[in-house]
């Protein structure tokens, strides 16, 4: 089992960061250009979904660079606290177990974004899985930091 932590200070209010991390378009933006994640039409935000803990919300197909299908995730939330964060435990192609906890906290006039990812890789894939998850989450945080800079420049 691997547990990885990613934390960033964002120069935006917790309300703004919550809006970003709970909106489908911003979520997709966090993964670009590496991954494209599908979602059914009409899904815009966690705020407009009926969440039943431990029940899949929908199936998201994952596409490397938007063209090469690499798997799917049955997006499943264990916990959702609007304005604070969520815990996702989604059955996913490529790993035995996936758990992503994302929390936001007001901090020094901005927001501290904290991601904890626990994953159980398949045998002999531990190093590859650690590398891929690390690269992906570092990229996600970089995208959100750039969004803050764009917002401040506007």
**Quick check: 84 and 97 in contact, CB under 8 A?**
no
**Quick check: 2 and 132 in contact, CB under 8 A?**
no
Residue 19: CATH number of its domain: 3.30.530.20
What whole-number distance in Å separates Cα of residue 69 and Cα of residue 149?
32
Q: Total domain count for the chain?
A: 1
Give the residue among 46, 58, 59 at the shortest CA–CA distance from 20: 46
**Quick check: 120 and 126 in contact, CB under 8 A?**
no
Q: Is the dihedral of CA 56, 35, 148, 42 positive or negative?
A: negative
Render each residue's pLDDT in the chain as its tens digit; 154 residues. Answer: 999 999 999 999 999 999 999 999 999 999 999 999 999 988 899 888 888 999 999 999 999 999 999 999 999 999 999 999 999 999 999 999 999 999 999 999 999 999 999 999 998 889 999 999 999 999 999 999 999 888 877 7
Domain that residue 145 falls in: 2-153
pTM of whole model > 0.95?
A: no
């Amino acid at each position: 089992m691997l547990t990885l932590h990613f934390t960033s200070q964002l120069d935006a209010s917790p309300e703004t960061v919550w809006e970003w991390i709970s909106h489908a378009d911003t979520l997709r933006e966090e993964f670009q250009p590496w991954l494209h994640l599908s979602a059914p039409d009409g899904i815009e935000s966690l705020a407009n979904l009926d969440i039943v803990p431990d029940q899949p919300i929908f199936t998201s197909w994952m596409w490397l660079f938007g063209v090469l299908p690499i798997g799917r995730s049955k997006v499943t939330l264990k916990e959702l606290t609007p304005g604070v964060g969520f815990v996702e435990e989604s059955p996913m192609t490529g790993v035995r177990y996936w758990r992503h906890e994302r929390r936001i906290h007001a901090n020094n006039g901005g927001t501290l974004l904290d991601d904890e990812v626990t994953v159980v890789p398949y045998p002999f894939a531990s190093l590859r899985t650690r590398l891929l998850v690390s690269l992906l989450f570092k990229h996600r945080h970089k995208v959100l930091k750039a969004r803050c800079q764009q917002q401040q420049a506007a």
